[in-house]
Amino acid sequence: MTQPLVTAEQRARLLAVGEARAAGQDIDPLPVVRLFTPDAHAIWLLAALDPADGDTAWGLIDLGIGMPALGMVKLSDLGGIVGPRQKPVLRDPYFHATRSLSEYVQLAQRDGSIPD
């Protein structure tokens, strides 16, 4: 059995930020979870989850082509993605945000990839 992409605690934090965004609050949250493909160069640094569907996540997306950008992705879609060696998307259990999402975006756009 594979591990869930987000833990219950992470889901609660992502939903709280999603609710604040849905309410129109101008916030610059810390990313909550880092997902990645172990056999490709894709990374998703997620900061919010849409409370309307509980599946649409928002954050910094880096598909490994040198153009990281803010965007949305469905967790259910990520659960079905596999890399070239058939490895699924994984959660980084060691990730702890050290800067706000906007700071990650600035560094990623400057460097062409999400900083570790």
What are the phi and psi torsion angles at 29 (to 5°)?
Answer: -75, 165
What are the phi and psi torsion angles at 99 (to 5°)?
Answer: -155, 170
User: Is residue 104's pLDDT more than 50?
Assistant: yes
Span 44-75, pLDDT tens digits: 999 999 999 999 999 999 998 889 999 999 99
Q: 83 falls in which pLDDT band (50, 70, 90)?
A: confident
The residue among 81 and 60 whose pLDDT is bigger is 60
Contacts of 82 (CB under 8 A, 6+ apart): 37, 88, 89
Q: How many CB atoms lie within 10 A of CB 5?
A: 20
Pick from 116, 107, 29: nearest CA to 68 = 107
Span 1-50, pLDDT tens digits: 457 899 999 999 999 999 999 999 999 999 999 999 999 889 999 999 99
